[in-house]
Structure 1
Amino acid sequence: MANSKLLLAFSLHLVLALFVFDLANAQGLKLEFYKKSCPSAEYIIKKTTKDFISRAPTLAAPLLRMHFHDCFVRGCDGSVLLNSTSSNQAEKDAIPNQTLRGYQVIDAAKAALEKACPGVVSCADIVALVARDAVLEINGPFWSVPTGRRDGRVSIASEALTNLPAPFFNITQLIASFASKGLSVKDLVVLSGGHTIGIGHCTSFTNRLYNFTGRGDTDPSMDQNYIANLKNRCKPGDTTTFVQMDPGSSQKFDSSYYTVVGKRRGLFQSDAALLDDSTTRAYVQLSSNPSGSSTFLNDFEESMVKMGNIGVLTGSSGEIRKQCSRIN
Structure 2
Amino acid sequence: MNAQDLIETAKMLVADNKGLLAIDESNPTCNKRFAKLGIPQTEEARRAYRELIITTPGLGEYISGAILYDETIRQQKQDGTPFIQVITEAGIIPGIKVDMGAKAMAGHPGEKITEGLDGLRDRLQEYFQMGARFAKWRAVIAIGDRIPSQGCIEANAHALARYAALCQEAGLVPIVEPEVLMDGAHTLDQCSEVTEEVLQTVFNQLYTQRVMQSGMILKPNMVLPGLTCSQQESVDEVADATVNCLLRNVPAAVPGIAFLSGGQSGELASARLNAMNFRFKARSPWALTFSFGRAIQQPALDIWQGKEANISKAQQALLHRAKCNWAARRGEYNAAMEGKGV
The two structures have a TM-score, normalised by structure 2, of 0.26
Which structure is larger by alpha-carbon Rg, 1 or 2? 1
Going by fraction, where is strand more abundant, 1 or 2? 2
- Which structure has more RCO (C-alpha within 8 Å, separation ≥ 6)? 1
The two structures have a TM-score, normalised by structure 1, of 0.27
